[in-house]
Homo-oligomer: A and B are copies of this chain.
Amino acid sequence: MITRLSQLFLRTLRDDPADAEVASHKLLVRAGYVRRIAPGVYSWLPLGLRVLREVERVVREEMDAIGAQEILLPALLPREPYETSNRWTEYGAGLFRLKDRKGNDYMLGPTHEELFALTVKGEYNSYKDFPVTLYQVQTKYRDEERPRAGILRGREFVMKDSYSFDLTDEGLAASYQAHRDAYERILQRLGVKYVIVSATSGAMGGSASEEFLAESPIGEDTYVRCIESGYAANVEAVKTLAPAAIPFDGQPEAKVYDTPDTPTIESLVDWANGATGVSNEASKTFTAADTLKNIMVKTRVPGGEWELLGIGIPGDREVDEKRLEAALTPAEYVLITETDFKNNPFLVKGYIGPKALQANGIRYLVDPRVVDGTSWITGADEEGKHVVGLVAGRDFTPDGTIEAAEVRDGDPSPDGAGPLVAARGIEVGHVFQLGRKYTDAFGVDVLGENGKPVRPTMGSYGIGVSRLVAVMAEQQHDDKGLRWPAEVSPANVHLVIANKDDAAREGAEALAAELDRAGLSVILDDRKASPGVKFKDSELLGVPLVVVVGRGFAEGNVELRDRFTGESREVPAGTALAEVLAAVRG
């Protein structure tokens, strides 16, 4: 196929779009790949659509290779199945909802667990039919609060979602692994630098879950990894490495002190280490890590009542709201208000301690570092008083632990192999072992081998097709423009006519025709523009191999430029076809 720039529906832009902040967004707009229609809603112009379709092709090939079968469900979905699974409500404002002319409720599908479960229920009824994995490549909708960075986080986007149905946990594990491997192959073919992190499963329910994050400083997901062991996890999923318990023996009794003017952890530590404090007595210098701060929230499971919850974490750490949210899900939480303090007078603001909580039957969860035998300075449940030497397991017994404290660079990896390092990434894929949440919800039962009904267990797997276009642009661009991996480039070759002589033009046309006959796709820059403009556009558009028919053509040479390395070399025009074929086909 030959695509002539003189005819292609394309205008490259010299200036960055005003609303663009990240490089991929700027370049995809400047290079005429996408255009904004509304916040998070984009058009795909010819070259952009080609890259999108190539990514879809790669994804399909890898899905087909693991035996997944493609189907296509509607994007316009009736409310009922999502009511049954409770997600009609759970999705909150993130769901586009609408009514049809008869007033019936519909939604635009963000993900399709419900309908795939129902689809399998509709077709299959025997253990002999399993396992089965179905997938679709589909336009999906999420009413993001903050659509961002062009197609990177859109409200209308293309996603490949697949769903495995197995009769055993071992089967599910195998389906999960097959998808995990397929996603690795997809990302490798697209040249995406990624890391697989343990993830919490959020509103999806289920157990084992990993995210594929494309490494990028502009990513919205923070993850940590341990260089020594390769451990990597979404921050929400990091399990704190708990220290060993400490014997109670010999630990002094807890004592309550007047601690005036200690409204902050810092001032409390200053008091402890000060002249009127307890530092000398304890023969140590206290730090914020020796204090235990107690945060009060109210939580509510869907459909339930609000309940008070106390959370104790070492004073040197902040609560990480995302981790707290993930730890509590599906319950939601809010901080308590003045009214709550009034209604619960045993909560002394600024001086809340474990004792009052436990005495009043308030659930109390602590950071995993608060192991038995650790000694804490904490609130004494009286205005202006703190207790020193309050020992966990001896003086108070929490109801459990909670992963609510922030994770910090240098924290020990959960596998004990070394320190954690934080980085940022863009979620491009997600694999879940869902289990039976949806087959339970819809009563998906099939006849088992023993004649009794058996309920399939599901896996759910998603990869962001349109997002991957942005991710490739983000990871692989340089300051001159886009750079596409050969696998998904909008053309195999970008052939620039940079010589006005008729002979050169004819030579370029002949070469383009030869390349076309050899099955390559060629972008042919046959415009009446200066070589400089054409070179700039070839760099901006990002086809990995640029061939220039320029000044050297008079001496019988054409130039091959590698868009990734920037290297160029002259080759005889007569060998250009062979050289290009060798370069493209590796």
Contact = CB atoms under 8 A, between A and B. Distances in A.
Interface of A: 7-11, 32, 35, 37-38, 41-46, 49, 52, 67, 69-78, 93-94, 96-98, 100-101, 106, 108, 115, 119, 122-124, 132, 134, 139, 141, 143, 145, 155-156
Nearest to A43: B73
B46 A156 contact: no
A141 B7 CA distance: 31
A-B pairs, 10 with minimum CB distance:
A98-B98, A44-B72, A38-B78, A93-B101, A11-B123, A41-B74, A43-B73, A76-B156, A9-B69, A101-B143
A71 B156 contact: no
Contact of A119 (B35, B76, B119): B35
B72 A43 contact: yes
So how many copies of this chain end up in the complex? 2
A46 B69 contact: yes
A38 B156 contact: no
- Most-contacted residue by chain B among A7, A67, A69, A77 (CB, 10 A): A69
17 contacts: A8-B69, A9-B71, A10-B123, A35-B119, A35-B122, A38-B77, A43-B71, A43-B73, A52-B72, A75-B139, A75-B156, A76-B96, A76-B108, A94-B101, A96-B106, A98-B98, A100-B143
B49 A70 contact: yes
A188 B100 CA distance: 36
Name, among A8, A11, A74, the residue most crowded by chain B CB atoms within 10 Å (CB to CB): A74
A96 B107 CA distance: 11
Contacts of A123: 9-11, 32, 45
Given A43-B115, A46-B69, A108-B76, A101 B145 contact: yes
A37 B77 contact: yes
Given A10-B123, A32-B123, A155-B76, A71 B45 contact: yes
A8 B69 CA distance: 8
A189 to B, nearest CB: 20
Contacts of A96: 76, 98, 100, 106
Nearest to A93: B101
Given A100-B96, A123-B11, A139-B139, A46 B32 contact: no
Contacts of A74: 37-38, 41-43, 156
Contacts of A67: 7
A11 B124 contact: yes
A221 to B, nearest CB: 22
Nearest to A96: B98
Given A37-B115, A76-B108, A93-B101, 7 more contacts: A10-B123, A37-B74, A43-B72, A43-B119, A45-B71, A76-B141, A94-B101
A132 B9 contact: yes
Nearest to A115: B37
A35 B71 CA distance: 11
Nearest to A154: B74
B139 A37 contact: no
A361 B377 CA distance: 96
Contacts of A37: 73-74, 77-78, 115
